[in-house]
């Protein structure tokens, strides 16, 4: 496994498992399978409504002697309707069954996101979060967050894949050493991306799948990447990317795809809807 050192010295695995759109039951199975296959990075969120399942998998893996808590890197995200709930972090940890998380995000640039980030900063100072992140921030909302933040974000989570590398945002964050964690790393299942000619050619050369080539590209770009799956074979294969290296010339060829398309386009109206989308467990 390759590790990426965050600006505060915390080391994060370059590859993890994402749990977006997984039920609590599927998340539990997927995370346990991932840990058995050597994954140590696990990403979830309040909004995925599967933190309890993720927590069960972590506990089971620890109880079974597969991994120690200190060797795991667990990230989750506060949902906008909880930004002003002073108990939100404690309730999140309770659902996960953990004393701390390794990375805590605010999930959307919605509602009172400054209050949400202040909660993260308090959790960081209290030892409940080892590093802090923001997810899906851009433009003036990103600027407002950076102005208000006492502790600049260690990680930003954005849609990232060979069609979209968010160079402008990452250029803005370069002075803080903020690292990029990418979701939709395989293009949200878009066959056009995975079947691009360059990936087919490289898959043949390195005796890997096209998806493995894409994930290897993420790692060499210095991104934290969290492909999601509930298929044990895919989970295993996604981690089999550390026995080869793409050349500089091959990375340059892949770079020509950048700017082709994005799959998620949230406008201000959509982002503000998140501020009133209460989760079932709230109350």
pLDDT digits (tens, 9 = 90+) for 80-105: 999 999 999 999 999 999 999 999 99
Q: Return the active site residues.
A: 48
Q: What DSSP assignment string belongs to 227-239? A: -B-S-HHHHHHHT
Q: Which fold has domain 3-274?
A: TIM Barrel (3.20.20)
Q: Which of 177, 229, 189 is nearest to 42 (CA)?
A: 229
Residue spans of the domains in the chain: they are 3-274
pLDDT digits (tens, 9 = 90+) for 55-78: 999 999 999 999 999 999 999 999
Cα–Cα distance, 214 to 33 (Å, whole number): 22
pLDDT digits (tens, 9 = 90+) for 203-244: 999 999 999 999 999 999 999 999 999 999 999 999 999 999
pLDDT digits (tens, 9 = 90+) for 264-274: 887 778 888 99
Cα–Cα distance, 194 to 214 (Å, whole number): 7
Give the pairing of strands 179-183 and 155-159. Answer: parallel
Verdict on whether the full-model pTM lies above 0.95 = yes
Binned at pLDDT 50, 70 and 90, residue 283 comes out as low
Cα–Cα distance, 68 to 66 (Å, whole number): 7
Contact 135, 153 (CB under 8 A): no
Cβ neighbours, 10 Å, residue 176: 15
Instruction: Tell me which H or E stretch contains 183.
Output: strand 179-183
> Which residue(s) pair with 267 in the sheet?
none
């Amino acid at each position: 496994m390759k590790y990426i050192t965050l600006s505060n010295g915390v080391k994060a695995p370059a590859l993890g498992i994402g749990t977006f759109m997984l039920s609590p039951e599927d998340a539990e199975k997927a995370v346990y399978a991932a840990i058995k296959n050597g994954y140590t990075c696990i990403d979830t969120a309040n909004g995925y409504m599967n933190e309890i399942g993720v927590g069960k998998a972590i506990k089971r893996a620890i109880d079974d002697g597969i991994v120690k808590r200190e060797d795991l890197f667990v990230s989750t995200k506060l949902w906008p309707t909880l930004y002003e709930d002073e108990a939100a972090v404690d309730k999140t940890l309770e659902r996960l069954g953990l004393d701390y998380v390794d990375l805590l995000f605010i999930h959307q640039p919605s509602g009172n996101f400054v209050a949400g980030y202040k909660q993260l900063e308090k959790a960081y100072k209290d030892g409940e979060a080892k590093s802090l992140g923001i997810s899906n921030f851009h433009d003036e909302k990103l600027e407002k967050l950076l102005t208000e933040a006492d502790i600049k974000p260690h990680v930003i989570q954005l849609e990232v894949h060979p069609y979209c590398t968010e160079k402008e945002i990452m250029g803005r964050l370069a002075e803080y050493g903020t690292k990029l964690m990418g979701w939709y790393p395989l293009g949200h299942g878009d066959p056009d991306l995975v079947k691009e000619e360059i990936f087919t050619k490289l898959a043949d050369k390195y005796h890997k799948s096209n998806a493995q080539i894409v994930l290897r590209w993420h790692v060499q770009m210095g991104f934290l990447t969290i492909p999601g799956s509930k298929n044990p074979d895919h989970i295993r294969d996604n981690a089999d990317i550390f026995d080869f290296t793409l050349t500089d010339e091959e990375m340059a060829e892949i770079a020509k795809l950048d700017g082709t398309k994005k799959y998620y386009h949230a406008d201000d109206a959509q982002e503000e809807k998140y501020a009133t989308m209460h989760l079932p467990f709230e109350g």
